[in-house]
């Protein structure tokens, strides 16, 4: 498809920053760039037909920052400082998200996050229980909140669970409406005069005359000064060398359940299973640990082993003896890697990336978007400074030289000075410094080579 003149001029002309990926990170990056550099023209594109393609509108809406067993498991591979620095980032990211969007607009509710332990998991529970005081002290130091973790087994009967022996509460966790969150971000982005176009798939790019020419699968190309890739689990389709693997997360939701007994978010089996109420429905997802290799895919298909296990736990543990119907099933693709740290960097000249959310996009997406925006704007600022107008001296063929200037020292002006073009240039130095000056040099214009 060829673009019309009007389409080219209205949407694709003079783009300073093209963002590929219209999810949580991409939209937050766009907002932050316009806040820092409002004069820049930013365009966001996504290959989804009308919504983001990955996980931003397909996640479970957990506003969480860490269950006890998840953190203890992370400590097997990472230092104490690394684990709790990430917990702090997740907490701060949620606060930033809530400062951007009103709680009422995203239907944020802080009902707490519970970790459930089945009766046969007493050893794991005891390990977690023994570290509550230690973890609470560290989180109070980092967040200012006291006694975040506490024993909550007394609520098991009230919630109506089956086969659950113990529970631990994280009082700082909440839940939100993912669709409302994305609608709110899109509203903010468009209010900043940032266009968001869907149905555009990027195939590759090349550099021409210092600009990026982006090849799309739609029959036209887009020219931009800088590009940011925020496609998370799909990042290696565009940047194959990145350490990002896809991780499929399968989810189901019930129809409304009569007299649903619980509210809040819940984690089970070190966070590999998770469920929550959505009004009086139950949303339940997870099961990736049943077959890590099979779930390491860009395919959105659902599988019988995972869906079967979800239904088994739903009927035996979450809603034992209660009637329910499954309303809908879906999946989303996360971006995972050898560590839970996000990748935020300039991947190649003029091409930036902010990917690998580690299943924590709701928690850290707004923070990551801000951080990559600051990185991009620093590069824009540096380039601007290095190409700024510096009036020094001008050659005699461009302006009449000063009366006392020698042929070796005519005044000139550098209109566009590039550090790349002139890596190390010593122009002038006071008399008496360095090596001897040529005999014809005037006091006003001594030369240092």
- Report how far residue 294's alpha carbon sits from residue 82's, in angstroms, rounded to the nearest whole number: 29
- Residue 384 pLDDT class (50, 70, 90 cuts): low
Report the percent of the chain where pLDDT is more than 70.
85
Q: Is the pLDDT of residue 170 over 50?
A: yes
pLDDT, mean of residues 171-179: 96
Q: Can you read off the two tokens belonging to residue 54?
A: 């990955």
- Residue 257 pLDDT class (50, 70, 90 cuts): very high
> pLDDT per residue over 207-229, tens digit each?
999 999 999 999 999 999 999 99
Q: Is the pLDDT of residue 17 over 80?
A: yes
Concatenated DSSP letters of 187-249: HHHHHTT-EEEES--EEEEEEETTEEEEEETTS-EEEEEEEEE--GGGGGGT-TTS--EEEEE
> pLDDT per residue over 107-147, tens digit each?
999 999 999 999 999 999 999 999 999 999 999 999 999 99
Phi and psi at residue 414, to the nearest 5°: -95, 115
Asked if 148 and 172 count as a contact pair (C-beta separation under 8 A), the reply is: yes
Q: Can you read off the two tokens belonging to residue 96?
A: 């930033």
β-pair type (265-268, 113-118): parallel
CA atoms within 13 A on the CB side of 140: 10
Q: Is the pLDDT of residue 402 over 90?
A: no
Q: Is the pLDDT of residue 251 over 80?
A: yes
Q: Is the pLDDT of residue 274 over 50?
A: yes
Q: Can you read off the two tokens belonging to residue 346?
A: 């300039």
Q: Decide: pTM greater than 0.75.
A: yes
- Provide CB contacts within 8 A for 365, sequence distance 6+: 23, 24, 25, 28, 56, 93, 97, 357
Q: Is the pLDDT of residue 34 over 50?
A: yes
Torsion, Cα of 221, 227, 230, 234 (10° steps): 50
**Cα three-residue angle 75-78-79, rounded to 5 degrees:** 85
- Residue 381 pLDDT class (50, 70, 90 cuts): confident
Give how far the C-alpha of residue 281 lies from the chain's centroid of Cα atoms, to the nearest Å: 29
Greater confidence, 379 or 32? Answer: 32
Please give the CATH superfamily to which domain 1-61+177-242+337-386 belongs: FAD/NAD(P)-binding domain (3.50.50.60)
Q: Can you read off the two tokens belonging to residue 357?
A: 């959310």
Per-residue pLDDT, 183: 95
Q: By CB neighbour count within 10 A (0-12 exposed, 13-18 middle, 19+ buried), where does 276 fall? A: buried
Q: Is the pLDDT of residue 326 over 90?
A: yes
- Report how far residue 159's alpha carbon sits from residue 153's, in angstroms, rounded to the nearest whole number: 10
Q: Where in the chain is the domain with CATH 3.50.50.60?
A: 1-61+177-242+337-386
- Residue 27 pLDDT class (50, 70, 90 cuts): very high
> pLDDT per residue over 423-447, tens digit each?
333 343 344 444 444 444 444 333 3
Q: Is the pLDDT of residue 401 over 50?
A: no
């Amino acid at each position: 498809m060829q673009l019309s003149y009007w389409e080219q001029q209205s949407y694709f002309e003079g783009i300073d920053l093209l963002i590929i990926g219209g999810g949580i990170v991409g939209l937050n990056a766009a907002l932050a760039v316009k806040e820092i550099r409002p004069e820049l023209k930013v365009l966001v594109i996504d290959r989804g037909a009308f919504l983001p393609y990955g996980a931003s509108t397909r996640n479970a809406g957990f506003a969480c920052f860490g269950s006890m067993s998840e953190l203890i498991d992370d400590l097997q591979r990472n230092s104490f400082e690394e684990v709790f620095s990430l917990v702090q980032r997740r907490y701060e990211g949620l606060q930033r998200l809530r400062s951007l969007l009103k709680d009422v607009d995203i239907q944020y509710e802080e009902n707490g996050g519970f970790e459930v332990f089945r009766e046969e998991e007493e050893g794991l529970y005891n390990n977690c229980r023994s570290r509550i005081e230690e973890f609470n002290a560290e989180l109070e130091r980092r967040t200012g909140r006291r006694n975040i973790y506490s024993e909550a087994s007394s609520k098991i009967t009230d919630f109506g669970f089956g086969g659950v022996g113990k529970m631990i509460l994280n009082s700082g966790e909440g839940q939100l409406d993912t669709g409302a969150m994305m609608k709110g971000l899109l509203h903010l982005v468009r209010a900043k005069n940032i266009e968001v176009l869907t149905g555009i798939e990027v195939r590759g790019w090349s550099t021409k005359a210092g600009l990026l020419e982006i090849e799309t699968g739609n029959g036209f190309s887009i020219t931009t000064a800088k590009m940011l890739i925020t496609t998370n689990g799909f990042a290696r389709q565009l940047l194959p060398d990145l350490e990002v693997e896809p991780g499929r997360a399968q989810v189901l939701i019930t129809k409304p359940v009569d007299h649903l007994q619980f509210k809040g978010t819940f984690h089970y089996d070190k966070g590999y299973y998770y469920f929550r109420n959505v009004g009086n429905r139950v949303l339940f997802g997870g099961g990736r640990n049943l077959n890590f290799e099979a779930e390491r895919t860009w395919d959105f298909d659902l599988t019988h082993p995972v869906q079967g296990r979800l239904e088994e736990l739903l009927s035996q543990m979450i809603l034992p003896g209660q009637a329910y119907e499954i309303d809908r099933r879906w999946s989303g693709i996360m971006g995972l890697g050898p560590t839970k740290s996000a990748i935020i960097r300039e991947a190649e000249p003029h091409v930036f990336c902010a990917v690998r959310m580690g299943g924590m996009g709701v928690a850290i997406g707004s923070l990551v978007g801000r951080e990559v925006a600051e990185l991009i704007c620093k590069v824009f600022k540096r380039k601007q400074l290095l190409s700024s107008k510096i009036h020094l001296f001008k050659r005699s063929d461009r302006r009449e030289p000063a009366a006392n200037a020698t042929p070796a020292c005519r005044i000139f002006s550098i209109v566009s000075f590039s550090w790349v073009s002139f890596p190390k240039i010593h122009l002038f130095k006071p008399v008496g410094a360095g090596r001897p000056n040529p005999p014809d040099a005037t006091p006003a214009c001594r030369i240092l080579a």
